[in-house]
Each structure stands twice: as structure tokens, then as C-alpha cells.
Structure 1
């Protein structure tokens, strides 16, 4: 089946209908004759609920009017008592748009009753009652004034986007409400959300509004062979313009794709009076406003947008959506230790929301640029689970508590790595308390790395240069070349300012960077102009304060390899512009599956400046190190910068005080297999690990190999006291070190619930064998026993308080396996007669009774002559 011109298609539509596409069967249906905003009938319920409850979850699809009508409806609520409403919007475009729309409804200008605060832009006054703020602004307001004096309600709009700042803002607000402001109202609003789960988390009522959406027909337009996204999107736009009326909204991952599709459409033959516009968060306000206003001359428009157009902003006249199914979102790379923007597939909820944009004013069409067979994740994953958490860790330290309630808690590993970075940046003390420098960094409202660099600038010139660097690091790359020298980006910026345009640079990107740098100078109260030329090390000297963990020294044996302060290594490209530099600061690197990371962007740094700014990290000391060739410890005198070894030479005898740590580090490198394990000790370990998995409520310690390796300093290092060789550790000492991990109560529980031996009906004790899979997963415990020893036993023996049956290896009198079963009763009933017939002649001196249920169990043969 294909979409084609039908009898209901207008003459002009039929004239331009050309290509066929494969449709889906999904439709979006809207009601007829609804109020001006579909949420209006629900407003009394919202007001009534907030009169009784201090929290509310509000679900309303795009177009319902929740963003602009709910704040206005709450203005006269008696509990508000003339105080302000703060509404959180995830994006600057949406924040401005919502504020302007509400102000127009009141017949006012923005800055009166309705205002907004976004980064580098503030339109509020003493008369403002509703402030629309972006996520970082809300966090700053909560940190600066926890009681939120003068604020009666917090509204979290588009919460389904699950940005980290929104999750943090909600966690802080809940803490304020429970500790300081029981009267504070918290409303969480969303278009696509698991509202029931969130309502349970908040212990709040849940209300749902109808939307305003006409029928939208979904069609899938998969890419042709070797067709790029840009060509595919252009083909779909041409199809849409030829077959359907109205404007076309195209969802693309980011600015780069918008520029490429825009260039392709500029070269295409489009219907007359068709205007192609871009919409993304980096556009100047005037251009954003132009896109959000209807076309004045009746021309048709193609709007190329990021997911900023997915919610909260209304694009008038859109009848067709072309959806790439992609978005550029932050993802945490655990190998490199920081977040990056990746192009990822959107969730099904986002796809539905994007499609709904085509049905806001009349029936519409949505072209999806992926196969209909492709399945998307139902909901967007929370950002807190995917990004680097240094900013969150600093906010929690400044708040004074890391026990806040999050809808999805931050991953412990990522949070620990973030705190380690903050200590390197000087934002946290050794006991994880926020420092005075950390509070100054917080006040700047940017990533702690950039904030550390900005506050490290000593002179007005350095401040201006730091502002340039912050703008460059936050922006997309202005160069089209692959150069790894950060200085080339700065020189392109300097050339742009002087009126010269580098051939391989983007004018719009440089203009945005220049504007951002001006904003940073304003924030820093820096009146100095940026320099027009710099010395070779000036960028690196500042950048070192943003990336102290990625200060790198050239390897003495390889001019392309660099050792990083965090202990990793990175390689320059063959044609690197940085080759030969003794010291670098790396602002961007890519982890490779095997071997060294790739150094993508860096700047030279002066060692003399490092010795001034980071004097405490240059150390010289003696240490014991493991010599793999000699399989023994040797003493070395080392000069180091952080984890970079600058010089190492022999230093006599090993200091016994250092030996235990060095031997522990050797085990960490070589693996647990170098320790003197015995089969009995491995069995004991398997018993502990198995029982921990079977009965978590016992809270036994984790003793699988991975956990033991991660915690060597706690249990193994004390056992190495006074030793200078690995083989000096005895089997008994290793066993004592491991068994010390269990307290007396746990040892008693282990012997009772996971015994090493068990009594069988013959009167003997037989060993139970415990085993772990290669990944540490417990296997069924095995009891190997001669069949005759179990006569009269009906049910399979069990361990772990009766929860885990033993896997019985039933043996012949000669010790050979006859049957493996976990169901002894079934064996006696069904299998034993066959075994008896086969074995009775082979082992005539052993009992093979007809009735094993009532026979006497024995481990002996029958006496001779019987």
C-alpha cells in the first residue's frame, strides 16, 4: 500500500504529488469543538487539588496548553498569597516563547507580570509574578536561597525530557519542602511520562488532560541504498511539499545536519514562495522569534529543527513532520571519563510527540525516516544515568547532603569518579566538603572544569583569554579540518574578530563563539579586550586548570605517546601539529577499544608554569615497585607529576613499610591467581558467594574475585606486613585474611546454611561441592554419593534454609556416575528399576532391593556368602 493522491486531495495537492512512500497504520485523532486550550476544563481540578495537596503530577499532551495556562490559572490561588511562581523550562527557546505568549495574553510586555531568566538574559522586575527559568537558573536560585522566600510554587515543565538539572531541581525542591517549606507547591508537568510511577514517587495526585490533535497519518520512508540522512531528508521534504498543504517541520539531530539539509534544499527545485528556516538553541533571539511567528505573506515554510521543537513551542501552520528519528544527546563514556554529545535514536514517546506536531491545526502527515520494523525504546532514559556527574556532585556538596531523593538515583560509580575529579579541581576537600574555590565555581553556572579555569585566571588579559577558551570548549568545532591543535581554533576566532575569515572555518560558529566569549567576560566583570595574539603556551597554561587529570608528558621513548596525569596514555595522530611538545593539556580524547586513547585536541603547556600552579603535585620519593622479570620488589627513587613518572632510578633496599602496598599492587596487576589458593579455600569462597546470592537478607560480604580485587587494600595488604616477596604469603595466611571478612555471626550462618558436608541415611558424612560460573554466578551445589547410601530417603536434600536443592550425582558401588538428578523422589519411582536391572548383575555383593523406599541405607557391601 502507498500514499497517493485521493479524491479528497485538493487539486493543488494532486498537481505536486510525485513519489510514493510506505505508510504505517497509526493515526492521531483529535476532538472537535474543544475549548481554546484543551487543558481549560481541567484547570478547576488542578486548583482544587493544589488547595488540598502540596504536590501534583500533571499529564497533558503537546498542544493542551499546560505550559502557558496553568501558571496563569494559579496566580489568584489563595495559597499563593501574592507570591511568585517559578516555572522550569528545559530549553531557552521554549522559556522565551512561553513567557512572551503569557505576557501577550495579559496584554503586557515581558518583564511585567510575566518574566524569564535564562543564561545571559534576564527579563524580570519587581512586578513579576511568573518567572520562566531554565534548569541551571533554578538550581542557582535554590542554592542561593533554600527557603525560596517570596516563591509559592515550583512548576517543572516537560519533565519527561529527564534532564539532569531537572532531576536535581526536583530533588532539591523536595528537600526544601520537607525541611523548610511545607506550604511550597510542586507541580510536575509532562507530555509523555510514566505518570503513575512519578506520582508514587512524589506521593502526589495525578491528573491527565486531553490534547488538541487532529488525525496524523504516519508513513515510513526508509533510506535507499547508501543514501545519506541529508539526501533522504531532502527527498522526504520534496515529497511533503508536493503532496500536502501547509508548512513542513523537519526534526534533525543538530546544527551540522540542519546546515547540510538546508544547503541541499537551497540547491533543489522547491515550489515557489517556499522559505527554508532553521530552529535551534544557538540562534539569535530575533531569528528564533521569526520562526515562531506565522508567515505574514502566506508563503510556505520548511523549518529545520533540533528536538527544541519537540515540545513547549508552537510552530503555526505545520501540517507535515519529517522525523529523522535521531537526536544529539549527552552520553557518558566510562572509558574516557566524561560526557559527549552522541547522535542516538529517539524513544517512541518522542517519536509520537514529534508526529503530533503535524496535527495541531488540522489533519496532518508524519514521515518517519526509518523502517517500520525498527523498534524504539518506549521512554527516554534519564540523563542522570548517562552523563558525567561532576556538576551534580558539586551541587550536592554545596547543598550539604547527598541523601536527596531522586526519581532515578545517580550511579554510585559515576558519582565517585565525579568527586575524585572535583578534588583534582580544588572544588572539594579530602573529606568531600565544598571549598571556597568550589563555591566560586558554582556561582559561574557552568561545568566545574570550565569554572575552575575561569577562576584561575590571574590578570584581565588571562580572564579574557579564559572567556575565549570557555566559549571554544562549549561550542561546536568552528573548523572543518581535523587539526588537533586548540590554538588553531583560537587563531581562527582572532582572525574573525579582525575581519579576516579563515578558509576552513564556519562564520556562524565563530560568531556564536565570539558572542559567548563576550557574555563570559561580562559574567567575570572583565573589561579587558581579548588579545589578538598569544604565546605558544598561554592557552595550555589556563587549560591545565580545567583538565588537571589530562596534563600529559611526552613518553621518553616515543614522541607520539603521552602519559596522562590520571595514569592513562594517549597517542597523537601521525600528522599532528603538536608533535614534539614536551607537555600538553588534552581537552578532548577518544578511548580506543585496544591500546592507547587517541588525542583529538590539546594545547602545549609550560612546565615552569605547572611547577608554580601545581607545585604540590610534583613529588619525589622512594617507593617499592614490583619487578615482573625478577618477580620481586625493588626500591626506586621516583620524581613524579601526579601519576606521570618523570624520572626513576634504583634506590637500595626495599623499605618494609612500603613493601605491603607494593605487593598488593602487584597482585592487582597480576591477578588473584598468583596467591596460594587451595581447593578447600576456593570451596569456602564459593560457599560464601553462593549463600550471599541465595539469601541476600543475610548481608554477607561480597567475596567474588572481582570484588576481592577491587578491595585488596582492605583485606590483603595487612597479610603482606613484613614480607618482601609474593611467595612469602602462606596458604594459611591467605585463608586467615579471607576468613576475616566474615564476622562470627556470618561464620555461624555459613556453616549452618551452606555446610561443607551433610549427613546421609547411611550414617556417613559426605562432602557438598559448591561452584561458581566464570562470571561469579553460583552453580547448583553437588552431592556425589553412592546410591545405596540414600535408600529410604524420599526428598532431595536442600541447603540455604531449604531454598536450594542439591544436585545429586548418584554413584555406582564402583564410584561411577549412574544418574544426575535434583528430584530424588522421581528417580526412585521412574528410573531406579531400570538402574537396578542393569547394575544388579554387575555388583552382586551390593544391595539392590525391589523397594528402595523401605530398604536400609548402607555404605558397605553385603557380607560374603549372603
Structure 2
């Protein structure tokens, strides 16, 4: 592509843009909304545009905003360039191509380098590794990531008069961050015109959030109604699950999609030979598989593929229409074709109904792409592609019920992705943690905290979340922070080229055969991989960056330089070093079962079956770069290793230095504690040796035992448990200062835990521990002196005997119980009670033989009523024992009549 530019006058620019806008907008529905957009820009220098797919907002708005800026400049206001974001590089180039062609037509045949009238001066684009216009065009299309890096490097956006964020409904991370930072910039540059365009989002809510970020009145919303042609929706569901247990797309389902596409296209061609078909599948592998099957089923059809990893020329060919008007076409695409792109001739859409979205397993710390049912909004956008040019048909390869159960819109990346890049951008902006910034929605607090920890481990931010010099460098690199860190750190050890090659393979997210990253890099280097060309260009670029920033690379974490063993391994396994430096929490060690590993994060994962017998098989240590949660076997771990490279222990220790720690632990062996000193790399044990039981380790062991087994672990006689029940009843009835001794709070009793720990650390056997005495040490003083009075172990009954009180367990809200012979309560006119008389005791009245006769918590009522029936039934059964008619006036006794005399 040409990168030259030429000076041009404002009349030339305005005339070219005006002519191009008129030419492009003649048939666009959004053209009718341009006056409303201009009015919004006049009033607020900003707007939210809500326009359904196919209305032409991407084509009509950029030149209209540029013309509005030109008019403002002629009136004495600020002019400047217009930057327009598109979420994908293919969409950037497609949008540029439409406007650039119209401008070239408007300038006429006399335009060119010799005339000084270049279309590139009016409209250009910039994506990673490719650009037109040298960043000086009046309208420039860019990816959100590229604009974000420009903004962080030039926080004032010097020379820019307007920014248009297109396709904000896709909610990618870079667009969300730009949404927040541009609103913040607007407070310093109120003349900066901002426009956000969405096809599906709630425009009013988006406008309100943006206004809050700008600190201004509500941002105007400009709407355009849908103008789609009639659309027929049909269903051709698959007879089984579309995905396998390990999260992959079922091969039989892909056969079904291909067969459905071939059949539906053949039927459409019978009615209209000009109809072309567009097939949606979730990823690149599925695109290639379905395209191959369609080509076999329809040999007279031109089959093209369209996805983000293609070479630009191949993408252009997919978007160019039929090469031969007589040969029908089928384009198999990923979600890149959902919005912003128009594929010529398409009036038939075949939709697999699947999408690939980021997901984060918070429990395991795993973030990756998952294959899910596409949202209803995405399904509508896909189907709408068939009705852009005329009446169309969409065939969905799933049931209507599956779509009905789908979410309304795709899950925003902000809610499920790793947010390290977001937190890094905020830190560079001077707003650690996003303080004062307003995103389209609030991010999860735990994900933000995890991202801050990740950046701190990379030395990208300090303890207060502020950017460090190393973090500033990472923000300049077109890489996720962990990969940028790995590139800069690995380059001095492996050489810049080897580090760049491994980093490029990871950055491009290329699938590793058998999960083996080294095999992937070897295939790319030898040209045996289909994406070797794209990888080589990326590796070249990263090598230049590594050399440029070599003097700014972070220092090693160790006090000394890496040893010879680590350096030698690094040169043998550069992919392993890069992966380990980027993802130290995923450094893994073999965990017994074949193919199973324990990661430094504590997660267990397993190699896929196709890796068994490959280069990773039997490796003791691995540097894992991708791990995904799966529902299948995965050696029983629930997580599968998708990409990894071999390393050894010295390299693991080098890369995981930030996870290294030594801790004293204690473990139970019978009724005694033994101490161990453990050298760890995260959850991985490097070495352990016997050591004295440290008090802290003993206390922790006691807490664990209490949480698992309760007090019984230390109370073989049960006396401590009986004391605990007495105290807890006083807590329930009388309240403070009597402590809560429930199961939930017992491990937190510092006096108990520290006392037990001290004894255990002294080597005393559990069988000789006085848990009751330790528990008494946790009681309040001086109230503890009244314990036997308020909650006695034995309660005196009228016969004069002390009877054991059965206090309820701490989780039971029931009164205490006293069980004794009925005759022992003769003469009692009140029911016994504890806790200063506030808690009546339930009496279990027994026969002379010890069998239950009655239960009462109101002894006077029992004497006055039920006693007569009990007396009548039992006086003949127990004639040697007294059964007076008036028990309240009788003498209590625990003897027979003869012994009583």
C-alpha cells in the first residue's frame, strides 16, 4: 500500500469529501439522519448513534463528521482530523476502501502523486503492520488497540478534532477503555467531538454513562430505523449436541452445517442464480473445515473463507464479490462478518448458532475463549446480512428454543476477560484502578483486583497501582502486558529473535499441534504452517521492538544473575521461557497420573490425548501458555492444557521467582504434630525438610483441625464439650460477656488456639492436653467465677441429690434437660431453672425402674393435672414406691417405702 501523502487545501478536502459523501450516501438509509447528527455535534460536540445493521452508518458518518469539522474551522472554531475505530483490521480496511474509492472518483483522473491531489491525504488507515496516509489523512480508520496506544502516548490527541467509535455494541476491551479515557479527555478538551455508534446496545443508557464520564449534560442520541428487506428465517437443527465434552465443536455438526449450506444454496440458486451464501461458524478451524466440506459437496461453487487471521489480499478477495458472474459463491466466515462488512451478493445466510467468547474461571484463575450459543443480538445481525441487498433467507442450524434461551447480547469482555490491559491503561492515564473514569459498565471488582496483582508481579505498577517505568514500556507494546513482559525479559537470555518468535506464536493465538509450543514454532520457522507468513512478519516486528527496548528491560528478580543451568535451558527452550515468564502461575509439574500436572496456581490440568507420545509426554516440568476448563475426562482434572513447552527446574525457578517462598508447616501424625519447612513455587513443592513446630504453624494446624473435627479432636473425655455447651447457653440467654462458642466461631477463639498451639509446639501428646482448662482460659473474668452458679454441671433436686444437667449442643436452640425419678421432685412447687432463673429446665420424670413417665417444663401444672393419670397407671406396677395423692406436699425421696421408713 502507498504510504505517501501530499499537502492539500481545505477547499480540495471539502470538495472531495462532499462529493464522496454524496456518492456513497445516495442510497444509504442513514443519510436521512445526517442533519440530526450535525445538530447534535453543533449542540454538544458529541452524539451516540443507534442505527441497525445495513443502514450505512459506518459509511456515512466519518465523512459527515469531517465536513462538520471543516465548517467549524472556517467559522473560527477548531478543526482537525477524524479518527474512526473499527473493532477488526478487516473492517478497518473495508471501511477505508469504500471511502477511499469514492474520494478517488471525486478527485478524478488527474489525481496522483504528481498533482498533489492524493486520495490518501483525505482518507487513510492504520492497523498493526500496515498503514496508508502516514497518520496525516483527514479521515483515518484505525483499530481500537492502535488508537488506545496513540492516546496513551499523546494524551491530548494533538491535531485530532473528532473521534468516532464504531460498533461499540461489540464491547471489546480496547473500545470500552477508549470510551472511558476519551470522556475523561473531553473534560480537558471540550471542543473534541466524540461519537459512539452502536447497532444493538441500549443507546440511552450508553449516552447517560458517557455524559457522566464527560461531566456534562446528557449526550444526544441519533436514531435511524431499520430498512432491511423481507427476511425468511428457517431452522435446520442438528440431531445431537453441537459441542463435545471438552468444549470443541463436534465434527458431525460441522458436516451438518456444510450439508445444510450446500443444500440451501442449491435451492436458492434454482430460484435466483445471483444468490450467494454466507456461512457463520465460531472459529478459524471450523471455517477451514466447513469450507472444505462445502467445496466437496458443491464442486461448481467458488468457496471463500473470511476470518481475522487471513492475509489482507485473501480478505479482499472474499469481500470483492464473484470473480466470475456465472459462478456462484459461498463465503464461510467467523464473527468478523457480523457487522461493519458487507459481502456482495449475499442473500442466504447459514448460521451455526455458535460463537466464541472470552470466559474467566474465577476459581481456577483460567481465562480463555469458550464456544457458546450465540446471543439473540448476534443471531439477528447474522441473519440480517441476508436482507441487506434484497429479500433474503437465513437458515439456523439449531432449534428456535436454543436461541430463545440465549442471552440477549454477547457477554461483554469487560465482565469475563483478563483485565490486566485495562488496569495498565488506567495506570498510564494516571487513574490507578480506574478512579474517576466511567466505563460502559462497572467491571467486576475481583477481576480488577486480580489484574492489579498480575501487573504488580510484572513490576508494571507499584503497591499503590501507579505506573512504573517498566509499565510505561509495556503499555507502548502491541501485546498483552504478560507477553510484553516476557518478550523483554526473555530477549537477553535467548536472544531477541528467539524470544520474538516464541512471543509471536503466542500473541497470534495459533493452535499448537499436540499442545506443543516448540513444535508449533518449528513448523512456523520451516514454513510448514499455513500462517507462517503472518507469524514471520509479527516476529520481525517484535524483534525490532525487543532490540529497541533492550536498555529498558526489567532487571531479574533474583539478587544474582541467572545461573548457567537456567541460561542454557533458556537457549534450548525459548518458547518455554517466554511462556513461563508470561504466565508464571501456570508453571506446571507432573502430578502422578499420566498427562496430569499441578500448576503453580494450585489448579490441576492434563495434556490432551493427542499430546500423549508427543514432545510433551513425560516432561517433569512444563510452561503452560493456555489452559481451558473442560467437562470431559482430562485425567479427572477438569482442565485441559492447550499449549505448553518443556522447561526444567532452574528455568521454572527463574521465571517463577515472584512465586517463590519458604514456609513452616505442621501436620498431624497420629495425635502429635510434626513440623516441616517447605520451599514452594506457588503451589508446587520444591523441597521439604523436618523442622521444629513453629507456633504459627501449630496454631494454623489447630484451626484447621477445629474447623474439620470440632473440639472433639482435643477432648477425648468430652469435658471440654460439656463446658462449651454450658457457656454457650449463657451466651444465648444472657448475652455478653459470655462468648459465642458455636462451630463457626470456635476456631477463632485465640486463647484456645494459642494455648493448644503452645502445648503442641512443646511436643505434648493430644491425649494429655487439658482442652477444658484451655477453654476456661477463653472465658470472661470475673464473670467466669459464677459459671457453676449460673450453669451448674449438676442441679440439686428436692431429694437432695445432685443430678447431671444435659445442656443442648451449641447449634440447638433448646432448653437444658434434667432426668431423675419422679419421686425425687415431691414437694417442689416451682420448676428448676438455670441462668439466673431465666432458662427453665425440662424435666424428664422417670419411673423407679428408670423408664420415662413424663416430660414437663411446668412442674406445678403437671402435679395439678397429668400426675393423677401417671399415678393411676404406675402405683400398682411399683407398689414399693410412694405415690401420694398430693405430690406437692409430699416428702421427696429416692428410696422405696420400706427404706424411707
Same fold flag (TM > 0.5): yes
* 2-structure distance, mates of 1:681, 1:416: 41
Task: Confirm or deny that 1:602 pairs with 2:644.
Answer: yes
TM-superposition CA deviations, 1:616-658 (whole Å, max 9, x none): 7655x5x442313346654333333344322212223x34466
Instruction: State the secondary structure of the residue aligned to 1:427.
Output: coil
Task: Confirm or deny that 1:520 pairs with 2:542.
Answer: yes
* 2-structure distance, mates of 1:590, 1:515: 28
2:626 alignment partner in structure 1: 588
8 Å CA contact retained: 2:149, 2:476? yes
Question: 1:149, CA displacement in angstroms?
Answer: 2.1
1:91 alignment partner in structure 2: 88
Pick one of 74, 78, 83 that aligns with 2:65: 74
2:684 alignment partner in structure 1: 644
1:191 alignment partner in structure 2: 199
Pick one of 45, 48, 52 that aligns with 1:61: 52
1:317 alignment partner in structure 2: 345
Instruction: State the secondary structure of the residue aligned to 2:179.
Output: helix
Question: 1:88, CA displacement in angstroms?
Answer: 1.6
* 1-structure distance, mates of 2:732, 2:54: 59
Instruction: State the secondary structure of the residue aligned to 1:36.
Output: coil
Instruction: State the secondary structure of the residue aligned to 1:112.
Output: helix
Equivalence map 1:21-420=2 (5 Å): 35-75=26-66, 76-77=68-69, 78=72, 81-107=78-104, 111-125=120-134, 127-178=136-187, 180-202=188-210, 203-224=218-239, 227-243=252-268, 244-245=271-272, 246-269=275-298, 272=300, 274-295=301-322, 297-299=324-326, 300-374=328-402, 375=404, 376-399=406-429, 400-402=431-433, 403=435, 404-420=437-453
Higher alpha-carbon Rg: 2
1:508 alignment partner in structure 2: 530
TM-superposition CA deviations, 1:7-60 (whole Å, max 9, x none): xxxxxxxxxxxxxxxxxxxxxxxxxxx951111121111111111114321111
Please, what is the CA RMSD of the aligned residues?
4.3
TM-superposition CA deviations, 1:411-452 (whole Å, max 9, x none): 111222222222333323344333322222221121122111
8 Å CA contact retained: 1:57, 1:187? yes
* 2-structure distance, mates of 1:224, 1:596: 27
8 Å CA contact retained: 2:493, 2:570? no
- When residues 566 and 685 of structure 1 are mapped into structure 2, their CA distance, relative to the original with a 3 A threshold, is farther
* 1-structure distance, mates of 2:494, 2:549: 9
Instruction: State the secondary structure of the residue aligned to 1:142.
Output: helix
* 1-structure distance, mates of 2:182, 2:710: 47
Pick one of 585, 588, 600 that aligns with 1:552: 588
Equivalence map 1:343-742=2 (5 Å): 343-374=371-402, 375=404, 376-399=406-429, 400-402=431-433, 403=435, 404-459=437-492, 462-475=495-508, 477=510, 483-496=514-527, 501=528, 507-525=529-547, 536-554=572-590, 562-571=597-606, 575=613, 577-591=615-629, 595=637, 597-609=639-651, 621=662, 623-630=663-670, 633-652=673-692, 654-656=693-695, 659-660=698-699, 723-724=757-758
- When residues 321 and 816 of structure 1 are mapped into structure 2, their CA distance, relative to the original with a 3 A threshold, is farther
- When residues 843 and 381 of structure 1 are mapped into structure 2, their CA distance, relative to the original with a 3 A threshold, is farther
- When residues 259 and 562 of structure 1 are mapped into structure 2, their CA distance, relative to the original with a 3 A threshold, is closer
TM-superposition CA deviations, 1:200-223 (whole Å, max 9, x none): 323322121124321111111222
8 Å CA contact retained: 1:56, 1:206? yes
Question: 1:276, CA displacement in angstroms?
Answer: 1.1
Question: 1:288, CA displacement in angstroms?
Answer: 1.4
* 1-structure distance, mates of 2:584, 2:468: 17
2:16 alignment partner in structure 1: none
TM-superposition CA deviations, 1:50-101 (whole Å, max 9, x none): 1111432111112212112111111233177321222121111111111121
Question: 1:782, CA displacement in angstroms?
Answer: 12
- When residues 222 and 82 of structure 1 are mapped into structure 2, their CA distance, relative to the original with a 3 A threshold, is same
Structure 1: unaligned runs, 5 residues or longer: 1-33, 502-506, 688-702, 737-768, 774-780, 784-813, 818-839, 845-862
* 1-structure distance, mates of 2:29, 2:814: 66
Question: 1:320, CA displacement in angstroms?
Answer: 1.2
1:832 alignment partner in structure 2: none
- When residues 318 and 84 of structure 1 are mapped into structure 2, their CA distance, relative to the original with a 3 A threshold, is same
* 2-structure distance, mates of 1:301, 1:560: 45
Question: 1:668, CA displacement in angstroms?
Answer: 7.7
Question: 1:718, CA displacement in angstroms?
Answer: 9.6
Question: 1:460, CA displacement in angstroms?
Answer: 9.4
TM-superposition CA deviations, 1:234-264 (whole Å, max 9, x none): 3333322323431111111122111112111
- When residues 591 and 191 of structure 1 are mapped into structure 2, their CA distance, relative to the original with a 3 A threshold, is closer
TM-superposition CA deviations, 1:504-560 (whole Å, max 9, x none): xxx4234443343233334445899xxxx99643432333211222223456x7786
Structure 2: unaligned runs, 5 residues or longer: 1-24, 108-117, 211-217, 242-251, 551-568, 715-719, 734-740, 761-768, 781-807, 816-853, 858-863, 869-887, 890-901
* 2-structure distance, mates of 1:437, 1:386: 26
Question: 1:569, CA displacement in angstroms?
Answer: 4.1
Instruction: State the secondary structure of the residue aligned to 2:379.
Output: helix
8 Å CA contact retained: 1:476, 1:509? no
* 2-structure distance, mates of 1:72, 1:476: 35
- When residues 114 and 732 of structure 1 are mapped into structure 2, their CA distance, relative to the original with a 3 A threshold, is farther
Instruction: State the secondary structure of the residue aligned to 2:29.
Output: coil
Query: Could you tell me the TM-score, scaled by structure 1's length?
Result: 0.70
TM-superposition CA deviations, 1:368-396 (whole Å, max 9, x none): 11112331322222111111222222222
8 Å CA contact retained: 2:494, 2:570? no
Question: 1:607, CA displacement in angstroms?
Answer: 3.5
- When residues 544 and 166 of structure 1 are mapped into structure 2, their CA distance, relative to the original with a 3 A threshold, is same
* 2-structure distance, mates of 1:165, 1:121: 19
- When residues 670 and 589 of structure 1 are mapped into structure 2, their CA distance, relative to the original with a 3 A threshold, is farther
8 Å CA contact retained: 1:626, 1:666? no
- When residues 576 and 211 of structure 1 are mapped into structure 2, their CA distance, relative to the original with a 3 A threshold, is same
8 Å CA contact retained: 1:664, 1:717? no
Greater helix proportion: 2
* 1-structure distance, mates of 2:776, 2:27: 81
1:700 alignment partner in structure 2: none
- More displaced stretch, 110-119 vs 168-177: 110-119
- Report how many residues are paired: 682
- More displaced stretch, 331-340 vs 518-527: 518-527
